[in-house]
Structure 1
Amino acid sequence: MKMISVGKIFMVLLFFSTTAMAQNFQETPNGLKTTIHSVDVEVQFYTPTTVRIIKSPEGREFVKNSLSVIEEPQNLKLSVKQTGQLAQVKSDQMEVSINLETGKISFFDLSGRSLLQEKEKGVSFVDFKDVEEETLRVKQAYVLEKDEAIYGLGILQNGKMSQRNQTKYLIQGNTEDVIPFFQSVKGYGLFWDNYSPTTFADNEQETSFESEVGDGIDYYFMYGKNADGVVACMRNLTGQAPMFPLWTYGFWQSRERYKSQDELLGVVKKFRELNVPIDGIIQDWQYWGSNYLWNAMEFLNPGFPNPQKMVNDAHDMNVHMIISIWSSFGPKTKQYQELEEIDALLDFTTWPQSGIQGWPPNMDYPSGVRVYDAYHPAARDIYWKYLKEGLFSLGIDGWWMDSTEPDHLDIQPEDYDNMTHMGSFRKVRNAYPLMTVGGVYDHQRAVSSDKRVFILTRSAFAGQQRYGANTWTGDVVASWEALRNQIPAGLNFSLTGIPHWNTDIGGFFLWEFKNPLDNPDYRELHARWMQFGTFSPMMRSHGEGYPREIYQFGKKGDPIYDAIEKYIHLRYSLLPYIYSTSWDITANQSSMIRALVMDFADDTMALDINDQFMFGKSLLVCPVTESMYTIDGKADFSQTKSRELYLPKGANWVDFWTGEKLDGGQTIRKETPLDIIPLYVKEGSILPIGPQVQYATEKPWDHLELKVYDGADGSFLLYEDEFDNYNYESGAYSEIPISWNNAARKLTIGARKGSFKGMLKSRKFTITLIDGTTKTVDYNGKKVVVKL
């Protein structure tokens, strides 16, 4: 018998052990696959900064075509190796490791810094029967650092900036638009790609997503290094944001509702008579007539006898018009009949419940209105067919897509058993807005490139930025608390990668105010909300019950009227800045409304501020969100009040109104008379100021003021195109780079790049410094250096 030494035995065992462990995973072109504790796992790099993680019970096929993700995995150079019990996949930007014994996945930057880790034993699959399909309830838990701020989850009305320490049921609603995505101050983001109702939970033990339906776990980790980088990753993954027309950035007026075409046109005429700028008017519901004809997409209401003339007259007054369309149809509409024939109507209670107008609904006469199956391609074709024939053919400029979540009333558990074209309503519930909004965008783009698609929608889901949509925060009840909540709601929405959103200026419902138009507290609230709206991606006044046009709040000389008019004019003066910022969104994946973490991530004082933000990269906006001038039910302007605010460190600041220079990194108080919103400009900024106009394109930008906020070097890129078509996608646009050298006191207006039809060949720029120094120069497209 041959003897083998203990050392040799150890070496043999080690060889077989490491060989067996090496066989625990399989390399793939984009990462690796393995099975651990009866769970199939795949690590799949899409880009050097974005990796998809897929998990399912062993042997259970899991194939999914994402509704949100449109990116395909790239051919990448990856390093795959094993170190002990860890299998590691590395790109040139980040590393993913999986513990081959426990299945735990961890994410690192290239220096080895931990970004995010799954929780040990943090995966859960529970068998679930969804109607007739055997499926799963799925959960994945992670471990975050104790004080790590995270942002996102969509539009929520919780008033929170950082979304830590809460449990939130994510399901689409009127005033909350849910997106199972968050990003961290550490520079990474996580998208949980699931469309069923999902619970997000964050506590001391774990941070998790748990979805009611899922054939497997499917999530994307992205490392952008900072908030802008994460947004860029998310847009690369789910789609880029196209340009909006210039006119969408002007002022918009609407009401629930204009009851005739004469009433609607009368509002536009009144604005023009008052010389108050306006670019858009919106027709809300019931222009179709009765509830049995709900969303017929035709003017069947006698108050609109000549809709073509109405649209033409609005256009003749240089106003654009958008109109309300819904996700549901009355039983007497043509759409309903066609959709019913292909079994593309869902069976649950929606708005309106009664066929008779009025509140409360008279259920002796049920409306029969049903939501259409937006997941069905043929249903989306039918939707567009009637939209095109009934409204697009009239020259309507855009779509107010209401109830895109959609409205779901008197919810019953069996409602989610409705079968859509893509499975149960339960399985795909949260993606409904993406499908219905996308259907309109895709169809309009297919038939016209002359007019950019513009959609105002009440709900959204991941990827919706690619569909030319601006989401409003729903039918919020007017209150000071509601105004405060809209700020972090919109900021967190922007941080999910969707840059365009707005609110009903003044709040939709006025339940908390008696005689609101004469109520000093509401009038003050409306003025402050208008100031906030000035620095939102869309400035739109709207509400039910009481009209909100400027002249409802008095006349010139009245404090509320004057404050509203001042900010409408301010909005128009900033259009060159706003439009150039919108190009930065499209071309460079930037954001218009910027949470402070985007520009001041190193300032811990700024990370959880929920009532301040950057508008573009130059303006710090600090809305007033509490009543100051209503005392004992009466307006009292005898004393000037103030609000406390924080100036982030990492920059110095200039008071927009006074020119006072202030150091960053300090808390100050700013006096806030009714017509002042605290507004600060970052030193080094260059603000292009446009002409005084009554509508966005009234005057060419042939003489712009360039306000230079000296104190630091800075730059700005002035962008122009034809303002309302898609020729920019083929290169029909121009860029003028402008830079300020603070030490040399020189402003350089660089050579213009690009061209487009109708482009100004020459123009004037008036350069203005904070101290009032001005100089006017001619510019013909060639580089100009100005010494100041």
Structure 2
Amino acid sequence: MEATNDRQPLPGAAAWPEATIERGPARFTVLTPRLIRLEWSEDGSFRDIRTQVVVHRALDVPPFHIEEDDTTIEVDTGLLRLRYTKDTGRFTADNLSIVVRGPGLESTWHPGDVQKQNLGGTYRTLDRYDGDTWTDGSKLPLEEGLIARDGWHLVDDTQGFGIGDDGWVSEVPGGERQDWYFFGYGHDFRAALSDFAAISGPQPIPPRFVFGYWWSRYWNYSDEELRTLGARFEKERIPLDVLVLDMDWHTTPGLSLRPGHEHHDEFGEQSGWTGYTFNRSLFPHPKAFMRWARGENLHVTLNLHPASGVMPHEEKYDAMAKALSWDTSTNAPIPFEGASQPYMRALFDTILHPLEKEGVDFWWLDWQQWKESKKFPGLSNTWWLNHVFFTEMQRDDDRRGLIYHRWGGLGNHRYPIGFSGDSVIGWNSLAFQPHFTAMASNVLYGYWSHDIGGHTFRKEIPRPERHLEPELYARWMQLGVFSPVLRTHSAKEASLHKEPWHFGPPYGDAVFAAIRLRYQLAPYIYGAARDAYDTGMSLVRPMYYHWPEHEEAYTHPAQYMFGNDVLVAPVTTPVGADGTAKFPVWLPPGLWYSRDGAEAYDGGGVLERSYTLEEIPIFVRPGSVVPLYPEGMRNLSTVPDELILQVFPGDEGSTSLYDDDGRSQGYQRGEFARTCVRSRRGDRAHRVHIDAMDGDYTGRPSTRRYVVELLDAGIPESVEVNGEVLPYSAEPAPRTWLFDTAWLCIRIDLGSKLVSRPQDIVARFAPEHAIPRGLLHRMRRAGEAVHYLKQVWGDISALPDDVDLAGQAARVLAYAVEEGDDMGRAARFSEGVSEFEERFKGLPASVNATPIDDAFKQMFADLLGR
């Protein structure tokens, strides 16, 4: 059975009639070949409205086949075969079964079957967790995910609250009912997530600025202090997009917290946290402060704890009371109830929207102090307020919805982003967060934001001994680069600083490098956000999405795919005495390249490597085209007209560059553009083709400056763009190419081009001038080893000539490339490469012949061999 075309939309979230099979008190709805809704209702009534979890059921009806007699009915989609004994009451193991024919297995499910290998979902908060362990030793009670190695999952929506056409909550229907969604997918996990997104809604794309750097600290900042902080960011040339103001921005009469006492006590009703009026001792002129922030292209979010309602001291108390016809003569607080439509309408209209007009971009809903709504018992306050605040922002104008809050339960992926709470500072927390973030993708919650560097110290650590290890912070910032959101935060402790300039070399250098890399990767990350919207595949996703039949994909949870092309395994252990951290990484079958293209690895096993503080285990698929912004960005409020396309070695590859206005909901209406880029590499030529931009949106550029970088390449004999031969240049310049010997990279600057026209780039090679595999890796190892030797050897004047020359191989090769005419450039380069390879082979012997200590010789050899 299939749906017909050209039909009128259905009310609510109803499925097409052709998808439903109703037999008395039972109804089955075939939503996809892998997904069937199972309903039983004692009175024969079924609901078609939206619920917290399911908001859309009118999917294209897949083909399915029905066989039926007087007692049984079978529904077969090809991948699922449902069998039900009619008129036998509630669904049980005796009257219902579903055979799953999925990739990797075939199994039969019955109601009541216990799932044995669920791959995990997420949890509302990491407050006070040291890794996955709480202060009392208990483990994080993770919720189940949508996928399991069992090959099926059941979502029970029987007790889910309804969501009306006005977006407001409605009661759970009474009576005896069952409302289930059965997913049967085998090991096709990506299909399961896609099916769930189809009925539960996609992951929205956050505004572009969300993917920049967020500065946050629990501190009673004043207007002047924040301006000074912003000026320091500018002086240090550190990009910044979001400024987070914790709870001290507002007045808090009656607040009394012990020193070091956490203000995030779960569900404990504390007075003094709620506030909506700027503290004028800190912010004498809030509007002027907001104007300054806007002028600096900083997006501001303010912390809210709404549970105490609206207190009499608030500036907008009278306006709120008037909107609700509240008697102000008692001078009593207006009590909070998030599920009261009049209360929330008045709160938005009289208090929050006026603050937004002054400059607040979005709200940080820090906590609600009790678990459930008092008006609708069973309704999670966290889930509901996520829904209300996010949808209100979308209703107000064409802005994209955005909140900053904890996970509230299934369906909350529609309201990004998540605030994971006050994790404990330590290596355990750092080591757990990659796994925690990737697992959340199993419920489509793809936008967790963690307190980079951790929030608070373990309570048993005496206050004088509390300090943030610089190495730990640098590694945490590296994880932040490859996280959905890069946001630093910490407890209110005067000694707990995370400003990048607070750390000296080499830790500060690593922090600065991490922030710069984040901004360079912004176009790749933003494109992956669009993929998440389209497919249900989050930016950070577990390895088993792509390699479900490999056991190692399940046993290495600290590594993950970052988008489609990049594998990341953030180092989460401290360095040893040799200055490196051993960190094994499982590389899936196939060839993988390092982030700079310098090294190629054969996958299918565990790579045992050690990494210095500056190194992050990043691996890229062959042929990948990774879009980057140039260095020097200040924020993501606007995007540069230059785009770097890093093309990794490989026979062929492609990517689709994604663009939209970065702010509005237009991307949901088709207001966006894509540009397909294809790469093909052979022995004699490497061709990169950039299609004309397809699509339109407000602000679409008419031109773009493309810079194409061919990594791990030799010297070409010629470079052509649209058939025109470009000249070589020793310095970057439009419509030229150069060869960067420090990266072994051909850098082709196309200059400013019309995006409406395709561009065809061809680099032609002579096979005899191909570079040896791993050359750049050996050059860099030689440079590091020689640098080490000069630091530890007292008589560096006796350093052999070949050692010095090998240590500056990139410079020696650069002179070979730059001198002479075009015809001899490739030959000179090849000759220089051969000379370096001979020097590299002889380095151990050259150093062993010197009188240097044996321990230094061994360290030199170890650095060469890394």
Q: TM exceeds 0.5?
A: yes
Alpha carbons of structure 1 residues 111 and 697: separation in structure 2 relative to 1, 3 Å: closer
Structure 1 gaps of 5+ residues are 1-26, 120-140, 169-173, 198-210, 346-367, 410-415, 630-636
1:302 and 1:699, CA in 2 relative to 1: closer, same or farther beyond 3 A? closer
| Alignment partner, residue 103 of structure 1 | 95
Q: Does 1:647 align with 2:587?
A: yes
Match 2:707 to one of 765, 769, 785: 765
> What does residue 207 of structure 2 align with?
245
| Per-residue deviation, 1:393 | 1.5
TM-score calculated relative to the size of structure 1: 0.75
Does 1:454 find its partner at 2:454?
no
How far residue 587 of structure 1 moved from its aligned partner, in angstroms, is: 3.2
CA contact (8 A) 1:180 1:193 kept: no
Q: 1:153 to 1:502 in 2, by over 3 A?
A: closer
Once the two structures are TM-superposed, the CA of residue 156 in structure 1 deviates from its matched residue by 7.5
2:773 corresponds to: none
Mapped contact 1:532–1:623 kept (Cα < 8 A):
yes
Task: Supply the distance in 2 between the matched residues of 1:433 and 1:153 (Cα, whole angstroms).
Answer: 14
Q: After alignment, is 292-301 or 715-724 more displaced?
A: 292-301
Aligned match for 1:227, one of 189, 195, 213: 189
Amino acid at match of 1:278: L
Q: Is the 8 A contact 1:179 1:496 kept in 2?
A: no
C-alpha distance in 1, partners of 2:101/2:200? Answer: 23
Does the C-alpha gap of structure 1 residues 261 and 95 become closer, same or farther in structure 2, counting only changes over 3 Å? farther
1:521, 1:627 within 8 Å by CA — same for their partners in 2?
Answer: no
Counterpart in 1 of 2:750? 777
CA distance in 2, matches of 1:177, 1:561: 36
Alpha-carbon contact 2:210-2:485 (below 8 Å) kept: yes
C-alpha contact 2:645 2:709 (8 A) present in aligned 1: yes
Q: Is structure 2 residue 664 aligned with structure 1 residue 725?
A: yes
Residue in 1 that maps onto 2:235:
273
The answer on 1:304 being equivalent to 2:279 is: no
CA separation in 1, counterparts of 2:661 and 2:103?
A: 46
Structure 1 CA distance for aligned equivalents of residues 384 and 449 of structure 2: 21
1:748 correspondence with 2:689: yes
Output aligned runs, 1:539-554, within 5 Å: 539-546=486-493, 550-551=498-499, 554=502
Q: Which residue number in structure 1 is paired with residue 266 of structure 2?
A: none
Deviations 1:694-747 (A, max 9, x none): 423477433222111122422111111222223333433221101122446322
Partner of 1:363: none
- d(CA) in 1 for partners of 2:457 and 2:593? 37
Residues 576 and 688 in structure 1, CA contact (< 8 A), matched pair in contact too: yes
Change (3 A) 1:670 1:85: farther
Helix, strand or coil at the partner of 1:504: coil
1:343/1:94 Cα in 2 relative to 1: closer, same or farther (>3 Å)?
Answer: farther
1:459-474 correspondence runs (5 A): 459-467=407-415, 469-474=416-421
What whole-Å deviation, never above 9, does each CA across 1:3-28 have from its counterpart, x for those lacking one?
A: xxxxxxxxxxxxxxxxxxxxxxxx98
386 and 623 in structure 1: CA distance in 2 versus 1, 3 angstrom threshold: farther
Give yes or no for the alignment of 1:283 onto 2:245.
Answer: yes
Q: Alignment partner for residue 438 of structure 1, among 362, 387, 391?
A: 387
Count of residue correspondences? 661
Residue 502 to residue 746, structure 1, CA distance change in 2 (3 Å):
same
- Distance across 1 between alignment mates of 2:351 and 2:708: 46
State the AA in 1 paired with 2:275. A
Aligned 1:313-324 pairs, distance under 5 A: 313-324=292-303
Matched, 1:488 2:407: no
Which residue of structure 2 aligns with residue 581 of structure 1? 528
Partner Cα distance (1:84, 1:153) in 2: 45
Name the aligned partner's letter for residue 325 of structure 1. Answer: L
Which 10-residue stretch deviates more, 63-72 or 437-446?
A: 63-72
- Residues 333-372 of structure 1 mapped to structure 2, 5 A cutoff: 333=312, 372=336
1:217 to 178, 183, 205: 178
Which structure is richer in relative contact order (CA contacts within 8 A, separation 6 or more)? 1
> How much has 1:528 moved relative to structure 2?
1.3
The residue aligned with 1:668 is 607
Deviation at 1:460, TM superposition (A): 2.8
Task: Give the drift of 1:471.
Answer: 0.6
Q: Percent identity?
A: 21
> What's the CA shift string for 1:497-542, capped at 9, x where partnerless?
2221121111111236858998677322222111111111110000
Per-residue CA deviation, residues 338-361 of structure 1 (Å, 9 max, x unaligned), is: 99999999xxxxxxxxxxxxxxxx
Give the deviation of 1:243 after TM superposition. 2.1
Contact 2:675/2:691 (<8 A) preserved: yes
Q: Does 1:593 align with 2:540?
A: yes
Alignment check: 8 A CA contact 1:330 1:336 kept: no
TM-score by length of 2: 0.69
- Residue 258 of structure 1 and its aligned partner are, at CA, apart by 3.5
Match of 1:477 among 405, 424, 427: 424
* 1:428 has 2:379 as partner: yes
Secondary structure of the structure 2 residue equivalent to 1:607: helix
Question: Offset of 1:623 from its aligned partner?
Answer: 1.5
The answer (yes or no) to whether the contact 1:107–1:116 under 8 Å persists in 2 is: yes
| Compared CA separation, residues 317 and 59, structure 1 to 2 (3 A) | closer
The amino acid across from 1:734 in the alignment is A
Q: Which residue of 2 aligns with 1:82?
A: 68
Measure, in 2, the Cα distance between the counterparts of 1:61 and 1:344. 39
Matches within 5 A, 1:639-718: 639-649=579-589, 651-657=590-596, 659-697=598-636, 700-718=639-657
Letter in 1 for 2:352: K
Match of 2:110 among 118, 126, 129: 118
Is the 2:125–2:406 contact (alpha carbons within 8 Å) kept by the matching residues of 1?
no
Q: How does 1:599-618 map to 2 (within 5 A)?
A: 599-618=546-565
Does residue 1:152 correspond to 2:121, yes or no? Answer: yes
Q: How does 1:468-547 map to 2 (within 5 A)?
A: 469-511=416-458, 522-546=469-493
3-state DSSP of counterpart to 1:716: strand
What are the Cα deviations for residues 644-702 of structure 1, in whole angstroms up to 9, with x where unaligned?
121122x3211115621001111112222122221111212111121113423477433
Between Structure 1 and Structure 2, which shows a larger proportion of helix residues?
2
Tell me by how many angstroms 1:553 deviates: 6.3
Superposed displacement of residue 591, structure 1: 1.5
Q: Provide the rounded CA distance (Å) in 2 between the counterparts of 1:61 and 1:732.
A: 40
Maintained 8 Å contact 2:128/2:422: no
Deviation at 1:285, TM superposition (A): 0.7
Alignment partner, residue 341 of structure 2 = 377
Task: Give the unaligned 5+ runs of structure 2.
Answer: 1-15, 89-93, 162-171, 255-271, 327-331, 714-743, 764-866
Aligned-residue offset at 1:301: 4.4
When residues 389 and 90 of structure 1 are mapped into structure 2, their CA distance, relative to the original with a 3 A threshold, is same
Preserved CA contact (<8 Å) 1:457 1:472:
yes
Partner SS for 1:489: helix
8 Å CA contact retained: 1:748, 1:783: yes
Does the 8 Å CA contact 2:146/2:153 hold for their aligned counterparts? yes
SS of residue in 1 equivalent to 2:537: coil
What SS does structure 1 have at the residue aligned with 2:98? strand
Alpha-carbon distance in 2 for matches of 1:270, 1:327 = 33
2:677–2:689 contact (8 Å) kept in structure 1: yes
Give the Å deviation of 1:750. Answer: 1.4
- State the Cα distance separating 1:590 from its structure 2 match: 2.9
Larger Rg, first or second structure (1 or 2): 2
Q: Matched residues in 2 for 1:648 and 1:513: separation?
A: 42
Measure the CA separation in 1 of the matches of 2:348 and 2:466.
43
Counterpart CA distance in 1 for 2:273 and 2:459 is: 30
Choose from 321, 326, 348 the match for 2:305.
326
